[in-house]
């Protein structure tokens, strides 16, 4: 057994109520490592013969996978990967979150959970070492995140305290969903602990479709050891000397300084559904959050982490005596529940993000979807009759929060917006008798995944390529952007998501290879990791293009790698790069280079010889169904 792995995975069939232990051959683990790449492999292998196009992501045939990587528990700051067939893109996304959940999995003796089928009524999983129980969760169904979390953990703690009170932690790690996930809202998240989310991809809806409310994990076993302890110890010492706390601003504010940084410095901040991307509102600076919301170190930091980017916020609510204590909104939340609404008040933004989190949303996805609805209202495409009497005006956080509730409960127009921006645009166009392209113009998404809060028009952000989202196998996911050459930017985040390093504490790619070599005992190099990355990308690309059953991203044998129309047709209206937009000629050049450098043909389909060389003959065969004859 290679070092760093617990050595087994649990397959939990909710339909049958059974749990069994499964393992993977060493060559599979070596070629896919863990996290995102291994998750893509497992999902593809389980669903490819159904065939892939026929599998409903919200049906019982889909699987839900929770995975660690070999460095989890042995490196400061690591994450848990959640994956399966995405109800947003119909492809495979590797969605990850930080917490102690990954370490608890390892300490319980598990490298991952593979969840299949559908329970007949709401359940949660209680994992303690080798024992996994499927328990009734009916009384927690419909509850917000905090209430459900507190209720389930109280039940667990009461039981543990009867055994050996001094031994057990007060708060075992938990992953759960809110009402949005229960009601299969496509932009719903898996929430870890109380505020950390594996949001992109809509896997909260997959949990809901399986009647799975939560997973609680606690382990008493030793952490799996590295294969080469001396090499691991040397790397850890060097890491301390390098001072992993190098990101001083992140340690102080988390990513919360971004509302100023990405708005004023790089002109890449979503404002009024991306109608603008630059501002000079001083209230958006991190000092307003630090002093106005009483920021403190957050107790629930991730395993071994030294950055502590999670913070605590306190809001004094008007007309109410109680104070709202919540997670300090990070940059993505400040943008997708603040500036995108043209809301700049830190208190209001914090209340918006807290409610979205409590309902169990992917805050990025639902923020973009709501902003899309607000602009449709502004343009007269929808009206008060459609919204149930609500006026969707820019800057109105009360209307924003009421719409969040409607979507989570799938009430009125919320039932349409629960589909996500792409599908909602098609449905609204159908009901209004409009050209779908007219409505899709305002949906800022790629492959059904709404954009992270980093624009491409200014060329000043790290999303500096015009194909950043359009060609990405994870669509609008800002943590997995595409670049003309794999090495430019795409490789490092993919390796991090596979080994399960956190991007804020991860080592450079060459040192990542050294860490994996020391921990697993296998020999890894940058070239080896590039090959691992390419295998994952090819599987994800194939799954995305095959799509189905309701959406495919291929037309007449050509991949639909496209940006929202606004990016080319509407130059930035203000700021230091006023007038900039996406040049179609530049876009086509970057896309052609991307295809050539990644081993795709001129239609964006992975080439047969490239797939064969990577050992992906089954992927090659499946793609014959969409290749242009």
Q: For the segment 204-225, what is each residue's pLDDT rounded down to a tens digit? A: 999 999 999 999 999 999 999 9
* 82 is a domain residue: yes
Strands 212-218 vs 123-128: parallel, antiparallel or unpaired: parallel
Name the most confidently modeled range: 17-26, 159-168, 238-247: 17-26
Average pLDDT over residues 290-314: 65
Least confident residue range of 151-155, 259-263, 617-621: 259-263
Which is more confidently placed, 286 or 32?
32
DSSP 508: P
* 97 is a domain residue: yes
* 367 is a domain residue: no
Using the predicted structure, report yes or no on whether residue 252 has a pLDDT greater than 90: no
Using the predicted structure, report yes or no on whether residue 597 has a pLDDT greater than 90: yes
Model confidence at 72, pLDDT cuts 50, 70, 90, reads very high
Q: Do 80 and 103 touch, CB atoms closer than 8 A?
A: no
Number of domains making up the chain: 1
Q: Do 168 and 147 touch, CB atoms closer than 8 A?
A: no
Residue 316: the pLDDT is: 64
Average pLDDT over residues 113-119: 98
Contacts of 474 (CB under 8 A, 6+ apart): 89, 91, 93, 94, 200, 201, 449, 480, 540
Burial 589-609 (b: 16+ CB within 10 A, else e): ebbeebbeebbbbeebbbbbe
Average pLDDT over residues 402-420: 98
* Alpha-carbon gap, residue 574 to 281, rounded angstroms: 13
List, for residues 311-322, the tens digit of each pLDDT value.
677 776 665 545
What is the extent of the structural domain holding 126?
A: 9-218
Nearest to 130 by CA among 114, 158, 100, 107: 107
Report residue 158 as tokens: 């009461």
What percent of the chain shows pLDDT beyond 70?
A: 92
Average pLDDT over residues 473-488: 94
Residue 275: the pLDDT is: 98
Least confident residue range of 150-164, 333-347, 357-371: 150-164
Residue 1: the pLDDT is: 73
Model confidence at 162, pLDDT cuts 50, 70, 90, reads confident
Residue 20: the pLDDT is: 97
Which is more confidently placed, 170 or 95?
95
Residue 320: the pLDDT is: 56
* 534 is a domain residue: no
List, for residues 435-450, the tens digit of each pLDDT value.
999 999 999 999 999 9
Model confidence at 119, pLDDT cuts 50, 70, 90, reads very high
Residue 314: the pLDDT is: 72
Report residue 618 as tokens: 């089954």
Least confident residue range of 276-280, 306-310, 390-394, 544-548: 306-310
Model confidence at 268, pLDDT cuts 50, 70, 90, reads very high
* Alpha-carbon gap, residue 609 to 617, rounded angstroms: 9
3 state DSSP class of 598: helix
Which is more confidently placed, 536 or 162?
536
Using the predicted structure, report yes or no on whether residue 168 has a pLDDT greater than 70: no
Residue 53: the pLDDT is: 96
* 166 is a domain residue: yes
- Give the domain CATH number at 90: 3.60.9.10
Average pLDDT over residues 12-41: 98
Contacts of 354 (CB under 8 A, 6+ apart): 315, 324, 326, 327
Average pLDDT over residues 76-81: 87
Residue 136: the pLDDT is: 98
3 state DSSP class of 146: helix
* 404 is a domain residue: no
Residue 232: the pLDDT is: 93
* 394 is a domain residue: no
Query: DSSP E strands: which ranges in 362-456?
Result: 445-446, 449-450
Average pLDDT over residues 338-353: 92
Residue 100 phi, psi dihedral angles, 5° rounding: -100, 0
Using the predicted structure, report yes or no on whether residue 246 has a pLDDT greater than 60: no
Using the predicted structure, report yes or no on whether residue 377 has a pLDDT greater than 80: yes
Using the predicted structure, report yes or no on whether residue 360 has a pLDDT greater than 70: yes
Average pLDDT over residues 564-593: 97
Residue 390: the pLDDT is: 97
């Amino acid at each position: 057994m290679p070092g760093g792995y617990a050595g087994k995975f649990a397959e939990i069939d909710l339909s049958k109520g059974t749990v069994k232990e499964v393992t993977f051959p060493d060559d599979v683990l070596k070629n896919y490592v863990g996290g995102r790449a291994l998750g893509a492999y497992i999902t593809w292998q389980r669903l490819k013969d159904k065939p892939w196009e026929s599998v409903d992501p919200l049906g019982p045939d889909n699987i839900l996978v929770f995975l660690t990587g070999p460095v989890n528990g042995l490196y400061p700051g690591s994450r848990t990967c959640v994956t399966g067939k995405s109800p947003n893109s119909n492809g495979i996304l590797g969605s990850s979150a930080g917490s102690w959940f990954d370490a608890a999995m390892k300490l319980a003796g598990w490298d991952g959970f593979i969840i299949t089928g559908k329970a007949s009524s709401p359940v949660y999983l209680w994992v303690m070492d080798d024992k996994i129980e499927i328990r009734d969760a009916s009384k927690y169904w419909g509850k917000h995140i905090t209430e459900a979390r507190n209720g389930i953990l109280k039940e667990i703690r009461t039981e543990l305290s009867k055994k050996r009170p001094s031994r057990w932690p007060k708060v075992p790690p938990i992953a759960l969903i809110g009402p949005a996930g229960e009601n299969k809202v496509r932009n719903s998240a898996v929430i870890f602990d109380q505020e950390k989310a594996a949001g992109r991809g809509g896997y909260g809806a997959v949990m809901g479709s399986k009647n799975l409310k939560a997973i609680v994990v606690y382990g008493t076993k030793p952490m799996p050891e590295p294969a080469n302890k001396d090499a691991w110890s040397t790397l850890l010492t060097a890491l301390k000397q390098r001072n992993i706390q190098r990101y001083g601003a992140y340690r102080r504010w988390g990513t919360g300084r971004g509302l100023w940084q990405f708005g004023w410095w790089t002109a890449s901040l979503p404002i009024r559904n991306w109608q603008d991307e630059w501002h000079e509102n001083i209230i958006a600076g991190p000092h307003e959050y630090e002093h106005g919301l009483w920021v403190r170190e957050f107790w629930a930091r991730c395993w071994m982490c030294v950055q502590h980017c999670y913070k605590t916020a306190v809001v004094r609510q008007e007309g109410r005596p109680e104070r709202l204590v919540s997670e300090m909104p990070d940059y993505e939340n400040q943008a997708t529940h603040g500036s995108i609404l043209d809301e700049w008040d830190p208190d209001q933004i914090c209340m918006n993000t807290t409610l979205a989190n409590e309902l169990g949303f992917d805050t990025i996805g639902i923020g973009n979807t709501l902003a899309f609805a607000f602009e449709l209202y502004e343009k007269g495409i929808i009206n008060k009759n459609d919204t149930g009497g609500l006026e969707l005006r820019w800057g109105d956080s009360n209307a924003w929060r009421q719409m969040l509730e409607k979507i989570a409960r799938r009430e009125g127009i919320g039932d349409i917006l629960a589909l996500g921006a792409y599908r909602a645009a098609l449905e609204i166009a159908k009901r209004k008798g409009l050209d779908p392209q007219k409505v899709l113009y305002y949906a800022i998404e790629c492959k059904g995944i709404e954009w992270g809060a980093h624009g491409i028009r200014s060329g000043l952000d790290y999303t500096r390529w015009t194909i950043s989202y359009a060609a990405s196998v994870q669509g609008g996911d800002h943590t997995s952007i595409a670049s003309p050459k794999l090495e430019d930017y795409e490789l490092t985040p993919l390796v991090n998501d596979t080994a399960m390093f956190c991007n804020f504490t991860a080592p450079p790619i060459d040192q990542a290879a050294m860490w994996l070599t020391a921990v697993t005992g296998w020999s890894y190099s940058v070239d080896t990791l590039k090959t691992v990355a390419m295998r994952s990308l090819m599987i994800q690309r194939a799954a995305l293009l095959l799509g189905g059953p309701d959406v495919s991203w291929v037309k007449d044998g050509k991949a639909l790698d496209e940006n929202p129309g606004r990016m080319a047709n509407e130059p930035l209206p203000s700021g230091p790069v006023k007038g900039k937009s996406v040049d179609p000629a530049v876009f086509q050049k970057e896309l052609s280079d991307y295809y050539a450098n990644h081993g795709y043909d001129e239609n964006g389909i992975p080439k047969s010889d490239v797939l064969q060389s990577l050992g992906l003959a089954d992927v090659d065969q499946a793609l014959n169904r969409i290749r242009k004859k």
